[in-house]
Amino acid sequence: MTETASPLPSIRRVVVFGHTGFIGKRVLARVAANHPDVETVGLSLSDIDLTDPASTQAIAKHLTPDTAVVMSAAIKRQLGDSPDIYLQNTAMLVNFANLITNNPVRRVVYLSSAAVYGEDIENLSITEASPINCRTYYGLSKHTAEWMLNKVADGENNVSIGHVRPATIYGPGDLGTAYGPSGFLNKTMADEEITLWGDGSELREFLYIDDVAAMLARYVFLDHHGPVNLVSGNSYTFQDSLEAIAKATGKTPDVNSRERSKDKVDNKFDNTLLRQLMPDLSFTSLEDGVRLMYDATQS
């Protein structure tokens, strides 16, 4: 069955939680550029501490029935995958859920993750109907948040809540050491050794940050409820990342191959639903994305 979503012309304000972050700042800028007639509001830790319920009331004035919210605030997985960080991320969502329950909005877009499917589980056709199989505290926190926000939607008949599940995101401004294009490029530029597990031939999805921002800036104005995989449908290997980096930089990455500590697992995603919602959405190839990321470091 083909799924569609009607536009929400009633949205007069878009609020981005986490607007100073890697993703949030680009989404806020894209919405402002695409919709100059819509008010944009960015909120981050300096404005509100979502782990503290007492601090939420200061920003309640921004949440009205003609408001759409993009929830991208979270503690990054690069800071650790532990029960304590799970509890902090969950506390943020509890307070956020209470905030929008007491101050109803028209639309909520929650930035979830493909980690809810389990990163170390072989699956060559991951769809939104694939089983949830969280293997990390990070993935579990995302799934918990999705469930919690769905309960908010059950109690608020006029709120539309969409959960966006992206694959691994990379691009300029990602300063992390994640195992993938951004981390590999950062190490190459710093003349540091890259540890490659096995031969690096396992398949993964890597999404360029501007493609993610473009999708979210459009999705926030669609009346779609439930999960949607933010994926191109094209998988690459970690070796592909290294080759793209070598081509962009003219430097051969210093790689130390080590024996796998886990079984080799391939992941491929099906983006049929996303294509139905946004048939004209385009994606940047890994080679072009890595080149753009490298070029940004030279400017």
Give the CA angle between residues 196, 202, 203 to the nearest 5°: 125
> Domains in the chain: how many in total?
1
Question: Is 67 a member of any domain?
Answer: yes
Contact call for residues 168 and 152 (beta carbons, < 8 A): no
Average pLDDT, the chain: 93
pTM of the model: 0.94
Distance (Å) of CA 265 to CA 202, 237, 238:
6, 11, 12
Question: Is 293 a member of any domain?
Answer: no
Question: Is 144 a member of any domain?
Answer: yes
Instruction: Give 67-111 pLDDT, tens digit per residue.
Output: 999 999 998 776 678 999 999 999 999 999 999 999 999 999 999
Could you identify the residue written with the tokens 């990379």?
170
Distance (Å) of CA 191 to CA 160, 251, 291:
47, 9, 18
Q: In the chain, what percentage of residues exceed pLDDT 70?
A: 97
User: Which of 250, 255, 171 has its CA nearest to residue 206?
Assistant: 171
Please give the residue range of the domain that contains residue 121: 13-170+208-231
CATH number of the domain to which 155 belongs: 3.40.50.720
Give me the torsion for CA of 75, 136, 178, 216, rounded to 10°.
Answer: -60
